[in-house]
Structure formats: structure tokens, C-alpha cells
Amino acid sequence: MSTFDRRRIQAPESSSAPAYQQENDAGPSRAPTAPGDISDHPVLKTGLINQANGSAYIESGSVKIACSVYGPRPKAPPFTPRGSLNLELKFAPFASHPRRAPMRDTEPAALSALLTQLILPSLHLHLLPKSSVDVFLMVLESDDVSDLLGAAHTVATAAIADAGIAMSGLGVGTVVRGQEGEAEEGGKGAPASSVTLGVLPALNKVTNVWMTGVQDIDAVCDMIDQGVVSAKATHTVLAQALLEGAEQRGL
Amino acid sequence: MASTSTAQPILLPGQPLPLNLTRAPLPQCGKGCYEANGRILASVIGRPRRDGATVSVIGREEAGVVPEIGTTVIGTMTRLTPQQAHMTISIVDDRPVQESGAGDEFGGVVRIADIRLTERDKIKMGECFRLGDVVKAKVLSLGDARSYYLSTAANELGVVYGTSEAGNALLPVSYQEMEDAVTGRVEKRKVAKPEGV
């Protein structure tokens, strides 16, 4: 019996989701999975976590993330002439299906590193010597990693802007999905590809590109262009949410 | 007037400042904005304003702040040696410093030669600062990993509040004396000139 975690009451080994009636609106969120789809327009709100310097919450498709930002605050030695960004992405155990084990599956280091690379180019860290900006993301629901990164980028930007930390521009994340590849004889087709972009629409710049799957170069370039265009829509939603949050704070 | 900030719209990071504020001669970038490709763009959420030759974007009042060269800081004395006075900085330009998760703090050090401008060779640390004094100082440089280099060599810089040897509050009397509020006993400090005096 593998009782890896003795501090908690373990969830049952197997469980099934409750069955909903068809006509009821309630139920788990559904993600857009048709090929060529671009992420749905997200819903964003800032300022929900009072004890943090800045915070934001996003619901985009089937992804729900809460983000809080602390900073700029003093950092221990070694001396850094520029500020440092510490970003931590954590999953709630109930965030995906099947359930994640606490402490073991809930803190993927690779995703935190990827998201740091998406956000870093847009921050003015040279204005914050010897200080650190700490960004904490808690994923409440997510089934797809690409969707997750795009939404996480947008919500982290919202929270950092809410905290009043200087940035070159508002960075948004977008995901573009490609067609599934041709099926070879007797085997499965190439895995469906997706391109996750970090875009600064106000400056027409891309901060980072992350691609999964198999796809032709020309198709990938098209997907990147498509992503840059769709980022503008997300940017509008983000700008609207930040303006509402600023007015609510009485700026 | 162009310097009022209430009428200006809220800008977002990456948004260019309105043309009426960036009219020739091109202003310098102050806080909250930066220059890119000949345009001035906002870098924080806030309202823009122009003060003479400098344009800035005024963001949230509660936004975190970091000591910069030339800013005025207020801190508490934590360690005194004959050559240096160490303090932890808690306020920068009238804004509080954010608490760090691991308890790290911005430290500052006032070297003996930077305490005052006159008779710098005859300074005794015990007659300028004591442990626990609340001191107003100016940032000279970024210093090293642990502390900023600070200076109290001005009339309005120095001890703002202190505790006497008897444990009572100290009130300023002159630039180098403070008196116990209860017993009236005088103690020597490098005193900051109170505002409005």
C-alpha cells in the first residue's frame, strides 16, 4: 500500500465524475479542440487577492488560473544589478483528470521555466536592482498544456501590471492548433501540432515561441502569423480588464 | 493647465503618451514611462502628467518601491561601529518598502565621513546615532549586496526620532542635541531639521 503522503486523507483509488443531465448547463468546462481553432476570448479580473501587491484571475476555455504578484521586494545576496523574476506555477490536485498527487505532480518545473521565458522580455527589471518580483500561479482547472501556457502568460501579465511593476507592454499568450497529420499505413497520424506564442501586440513583438507536435515549416510560420493576429483580440480583453480594475481602485 | 493629472485618461503599459503632452521640445522620460523609436510609451498603468521638461506616468499609490540614487529613505539603526552605521530601510520617498517572504530587507550604511559636512575628522559615532534611532538619509549609491550607501550630510537629514537612555521619546532641540521628553536630559545626536520649522 503506497501511502506516500501521510498528512492527508487519501482520495479513493478510483472515482467517477458525477453524471449530468444533458439539458443542464452545469458540468466541467469544454475546451475548443477542433483543428485550426484559436483560444476563446478569456474572462479576466484583477485585484481579487488583497494581500498581494497585484493579482489577477482568468478563465479561458477550460483553463482557470489565479495569479498573485509580490514585489518589488528585497532579495537576499548575491548582488544583482537587475531585478530577478521568480515564477512558480502550481496545480491544484483537482485541476486535471485524473487527480494529481499533492507535492509530487503539482509543481512542474518545466512549465514554470517556460512561462518565465515567455514573460521575462517584457519586464523592465533593470529598474529594480537588488530586488525580486515573485509571481505565483495556481491552476484551478486545466487539461491542455498549450492552452494553459497561453492563459498563464495573459494572467501573469495582468497581475504584474496590477502591481504597478514597469513593463515594455502588455504580453498576451495565444495558442494556435494545426491540423492532425496524414495517417500512415496501419499507424496513427502525426500528432496534432500546436504553437504557443508570447506576443506584445502594442509593440508588434513576439517574446517566445513554443511548439509541440509535427508540422511543416511553412505551416508553422502561418500559425505564428495567425497567433500574432489573434493575440490582438486577447490584448483587447486584457486592456479592458486592467482599465476596469484601475478605475475600481480609484486611480 | 498641462500639469494637472485628473483630466488625463488612464494609460496602459506600451501605450503612447497623448500628443498634447509630448509636444516639442521632446520631454525627458520620468517615472512610469520609457522611450522607444522616438515615441514615449507608458510602462505602468496610470495617468500621464508633464512637469516642465519631464513627463511621467503616475501609477498606483501602493505600488512597491525600490531605493534609487538620490531618493530620501527612512530607516532604523541596527548596528553601529566606529566607522559605519548600519540601518534597515523601511520607507523610500514616503512609500513603504514591501515585506519580503524570506525576511530579507534593504540595508543601508552611513559611513563616518558621510554623516555631516562640517568637522568630519572629529565625529564620534556615539554622538551621532544610537541603536534604534529612526534616521532620514539620502541614497548615494547602490553599494554592495547587503547595503545601499547613504548620507545624512544635510540639514534636513539625520535622526528623526530616538529613544533616550531612560527609555522616553527624544525631541529635537538643535542640529546636534535632542532632549528627553520626560526628564529633560539632553543627549547628542545628528538631528534632522523638522519640516515646517
Residues B170 and B181 sit within 8 Å (Cβ to Cβ): yes
pLDDT in tens, A131-143: 999 999 999 998 8
Distance CA A110, CA A89 (A): 10
Partners of residue A77 in chain B, C-beta under 8 Å: 145-146
Distance CA B109, CA B101 (A): 23
**Angstroms from B184 CA to nearest CA on chain A:** 39
Distance CA A72, CA B65 (A): 7
Which residue, of B25, B41, B59, is where some domain finishes?
B59
Nearest to B141 by CA among A130, A123, A74: A130
pLDDT in tens, B30-57: 999 999 988 899 999 999 998 888 999 9
Provide the residue type at B77 as one letter: M
Task: Domain of residue B191: give its range.
Answer: 62-197
Q: Do B63 and A164 touch (CB under 8 A)?
A: yes
Distance CA A128, CA B67 (A): 9
Nearest to A73 by CA among B13, B118, B140, B106: B106
Distances (CA, A) of A77 to A37, B105, B106: 46, 10, 11
Domain identity same for B120 and B193: yes
Q: Taking CA atoms, what residue in A is nearest to B106?
A: A74
Which residue, of B20, B41, B59, is where some domain finishes?
B59
A221: burial class by Cβ within 10 Å (0-12, 13-18, 19+)?
Answer: exposed
Contacts of A218 (CB under 8 A, 6+ apart): none
Q: Strand order of the sheet with strand B186-188? A: B170-174, B177-180, B186-188
Helix H or strand E segment including A210: strand A205-212
The CA angle B26-A168-A249, to the nearest 5 degrees, is: 95
| Chain A contact for B71 (CB, 8 A cutoff) | no
User: What are the backbone dihedrals phi and psi of residue A124, each rounded to the nearest 5 degrees, phi first?
Assistant: -95, 70
Domain identity same for B188 and B98: yes
- pLDDT confidence of residue B68: 92
Please spell the DSSP secondary structure of chain B, one letter per residue.
-TT--SSSPPB-TTPBPPTTTSPSSPPEE-TTEEEETTEEEE-SSBEEEEETTEEEEE--TT------TT-EEEEEEEEE-SSEEEEEEEEETTEEPPPPTT----EEEEEGGGS-SSSGGG--GGGT--TT-EEEEEEEE--SSSEEEEE--STT-EEEE-B-TTS-BEEEEETTEEEETTT--EEE--BPPPTT-
Distance CA A203, CA A225 (A): 15
What secondary structure letter does DSSP report for A125? Answer: G
Q: Do A73 and B47 touch (CB under 8 A)?
A: no
Domain identity same for B170 and B80: yes
Distance CA A114, CA A148 (A): 11
Residues A246 and B10 sit within 8 Å (Cβ to Cβ): yes
Helical packing angle, A217-249 and A145-162, nearest 10°: 30
| Nearest CB to A77; choose among B43, B99, B146 | B146
Q: Per-residue pLDDT for chain A (251 aa), expressed as one digit of tens each?
A: 555 778 888 888 888 888 877 665 555 566 555 544 444 568 999 999 989 999 999 998 889 999 999 989 998 888 888 999 999 999 999 888 888 888 777 778 889 999 999 999 999 999 999 999 999 999 999 887 878 999 999 999 999 999 999 999 999 999 898 876 555 555 555 668 889 999 999 999 999 998 888 888 999 999 999 999 999 999 999 999 999 999 988 87
The number of distinct structural domains making up chain B is 2
Q: Do A251 and B45 touch (CB under 8 A)?
A: yes
Domain identity same for B67 and B30: no
Contacts of B130 (CB under 8 A, 6+ apart): B77, B80, B162, B163, B189
CATH code, domain carrying B5: 2.40.50.100
Distances (CA, A) of A81 to A78, A129, B111, B140, B144: 10, 5, 22, 15, 10
Distances (CA, A) of A163 to A51, A73, B16, B63, B156: 11, 12, 20, 6, 32
Distance CA A58, CA A61 (A): 10
Task: Give alpha helix (H) positions in A101-216.
Answer: 109-119, 145-162
Which residue, of B59, B81, B103, is where some domain finishes?
B59
Secondary structure of residue A108 in the 3-state scheme? coil
Distance CA A80, CA A132 (A): 10
Q: Taking CA atoms, what residue in B is nearest to A130?
A: B145
pLDDT in tens, A4-52: 778 888 888 888 888 877 665 555 566 555 544 444 568 999 999 989 9
Domain identity same for B46 and B142: no
- Residue-range domains of chain A with CATH: 37-96+104-181+190-248 (3.30.230.70)
**Angstroms from A158 CA to nearest CA on chain B:** 11
Distance CA B158, CA B138 (A): 10
Q: Do A124 and B32 touch (CB under 8 A)?
A: no
CATH code, domain carrying B114: 2.40.50.140
Nearest to B106 by CA among A178, A131, A191: A131
| Nearest CB to A251; choose among B13, B60, B106 | B60
Residues A182 and A163 sit within 8 Å (Cβ to Cβ): no
Position B83 pLDDT exceeds 80? yes
Domain identity same for B88 and B40: no
Domain identity same for B134 and B152: yes
Mutation site, B45, B47, B106, interface A, largest A CB count within 10 A: B45
Domain identity same for B85 and B178: yes
Domain identity same for B99 and B163: yes
Domain identity same for B34 and B110: no
Q: Do B36 and A251 touch (CB under 8 A)?
A: no
Distance CA B178, CA B176 (A): 7
